[in-house]
Amino acid sequence: MTSLQLLGFGPGGWGALLLLGALITLAVTATALAIGAVLGALVASMKLSRNLPLAAIGHAYTTVFRGVPELLIIYLIYFGGSSAVTAIGQALGYEGFLGLPSFLAGALAVGIISGAYQAEVYRGAYLAIAPGELEAALAVGMSRRLRLRRIVMPQVIRFAIPGLGNVWQLSLKDSALISVTGLAELMRTSQVAAGSTRQYFLFYIVGGSLYLILTSLSDRIFRRAERQADRSQSVAMIGRG
Amino acid sequence: MSGPPRLSVRNIRKSFGTHEVLKGISLEARDGDVISLLGASGSGKSTFLRCINLLEIATEGEIFVDGEEIRMVKKGGHNQPASQKQVDHIRSELGMVFQSFNLWSHMTILQNVIEGPVHVLKRPRAECIAEAEALLEKVGIVDKRHAYPAHLSGGQQQRAAIARALAMKPKAMLFDEPTSALDPELVGEVLRVMRALAEEGMTMLVVTHEMSFARNVSNRVVFMREGVVDSAGAPQDMFGSGASPAFRQFIGHFGQA
Ligand SMILES: Nc1ncnc2c1ncn2[C@@H]1O[C@H](COP(=O)(O)OP(=O)(O)OP(=O)(O)O)[C@@H](O)[C@H]1O
Ligand SMILES: [Mg+2]
């Protein structure tokens, strides 16, 4: 078979599976980003809290999950989670191994890590809000909730977009590590294709290119979002790009 | 004037840690009063103003807005507002204008002005927009209503901030050095707006270093020194022969007789 046929969509071609792998990579990363957004917002508000024990927990979270290798977290969630599920199964009278769905475990693991990075992004974004604007919100009689919704959230999102772009990029690459759980995302699919056709060079290059396409596409989307969010900023910044 | 004073502050004290910044200040503003608060840097003018709309919580003392007392409870020897709801309500009745404008940077000028009326007072949006445009017309920046604050000069931003405060139909306006952050050539446009407000009968408490405003626009001048009211009176008395030695020395720095 020629390279073109190997990469094609005909019989024996890996094109469809590679595309599916890329879609799964996108889906697992997007899920991880969403999980990380919730965790990150929670951890950021803990770190910003004046309650010292809460702040310490938040601090510990970001230290641990940025400091420990991603692969270890994935093993921990996947195998640790699976043995927990198995134990529960046994307690309910089911003998044998119960696996955690690899998509869920992977998204959770990458999401937990992404949450640590997102927490830093949100914390920085909150601190970038001019204190005077928060005071003006108090002075006009806004309740805490209203302040959060009308003044804090829109500005946190605006200031967080560039940082979130970086976190997305990181998570996209981290998602390749989920291949160890057997999830047929882009990395795993490239690996299987390379192994079964013995065309290692071809499939790893193609896999790498697909990752590059995903990252550069998402980079453009984040840049556009950033420009959109910056329209309220100075004239000089609007002229940029 | 009949009815309760718009603003009545009795024996306010405020400490930051062991540093007592306000040492018992009382002040009353009746409807239409324009009171200039003067004093050297660090004398506690900003702290006093911020205690009135509860951006700082006075350690002791009583505050009444239009006859309504702000309820306090003692907590660990310190005053705490009894009800956050009341705090929010009182704040919505007092317009505050800051030295650094503090417009919300992610909103256009019009959005800044309608934000409070629409979301705090929960009034119909269309009505608020019409009123906001009239206010912006009045302060002379209606053509900038769709611009963002970052695109305006300091003088324009401060006039927008005044419009934002006025949109709440406040019972009194508090100004904390509204022209101190402005280039000299932009001071006049803000002072003109404030003067027009005073002439319309708005009750105003103005911390300022603009002696011309204190002398010509306000009907009362309060001179603060080291956390107490050193002297107070009508401008013609304060700036005339009735001045205290400390006030005489203070205005001497501004090249005034
Ligand atoms: N949040 C705070 N924490 C501690 N000290 C404070 C705080 N705010 C003000 N102070 C202190 O209180 C004193 C009075 O400050 P304030 O800002 O009220 O003075 P001011 O008369 O407004 O001065 P200026 O003309 O410089 O604005 C100063 O010594 C200041 O350092
Ligand atoms: Mg001050």
Domain that holds residue A92: 35-184
Q: Is B50 in the pocket of ligand 1 (CB under 6 A)?
A: no
pLDDT > 90? residue A139: yes
Structural domain includes residue A78: yes
Q: Residue A238's pLDDT band (boundaries 50, 70, 90)? A: very low
Hey, is the C-beta of B57 within 8 angstroms of any chain A C-beta?
A: no
Q: Residue A241's pLDDT band (boundaries 50, 70, 90)? A: very low
3-state secondary structure of A19: helix
- Residue of A133, A140, A155 with shortest CB distance to B92: A140
Structural domain includes residue A195: no
Q: Which of A140, A159, A228 should we substitute to test contact with B (largest number of B Cβ atoms within 10 Å)?
A: A140
Q: Residue B75's pLDDT band (boundaries 50, 70, 90)? A: confident
Give me the mean pLDDT over the B207-236 stretch.
95
Q: What is the DSSP string of B125-142?
A: HHHHHHHHHHHHHHTT-G
Structural domain includes residue A147: yes
Q: For the purposes of burial, counting CB atoms within 10 Å of the CB of A176, is it exposed (0-12), middle (13-18) or buried (19 or more)?
A: buried
Structural domain includes residue A15: no
Domain range list for chain B = 7-253
Query: How many CB atoms lie under 10 A from the CB of residue B160?
Result: 26
Reading the block at residue B173, the tokens are 């306006």
Domain count, chain A: 1
CATH number at residue A85: 1.10.3720.10
pLDDT > 80? residue A239: no
**Superfamily for the B7-253 domain:** P-loop containing nucleotide triphosphate hydrolases (3.40.50.300)
Separation between Cα atoms, residue B154 and residue B137, nearest integer Å: 17
Reading the block at residue A55, the tokens are 């702040």
Contact A193, A14 (CB under 8 A): yes
Structure pTM? 0.87
Separation between Cα atoms, residue A210 and residue B232, nearest integer Å: 76
Contact A163, A169 (CB under 8 A): no
Separation between Cα atoms, residue B156 and residue B172, nearest integer Å: 22
* pLDDT tens profile A54-83: 999 999 999 999 999 999 999 999 988 888
Structural domain includes residue A114: yes
Structural domain includes residue A232: no
Tell me the backbone φ, ψ of residue B180, rounded to 5 degrees. Answer: -70, -25
Hey, is the C-beta of B122 within 8 angstroms of any chain A C-beta?
A: no
Contact B178, B208 (CB under 8 A): yes
Q: Is B16 in the pocket of ligand 1 (CB under 6 A)?
A: yes
Q: What is the DSSP string of A31-83?
A: HHHHHHHHHHHHHHHHHH-S-HHHHHHHHHHHHHHHHS-HHHHHHIIIIIHHH
Quote the percentage of chain B above a pLDDT of 70.
98
Q: Which ligand is nearest to the CA of B41?
A: 1
Give me the mean pLDDT over the B14-43 stretch.
95
Contact A121, A164 (CB under 8 A): yes
Q: Parallel, antiparallel, or unpaired: how do β-strands B78-81 and B60-65 relate?
A: unpaired
Structural domain includes residue A93: yes
Structural domain includes residue A42: yes
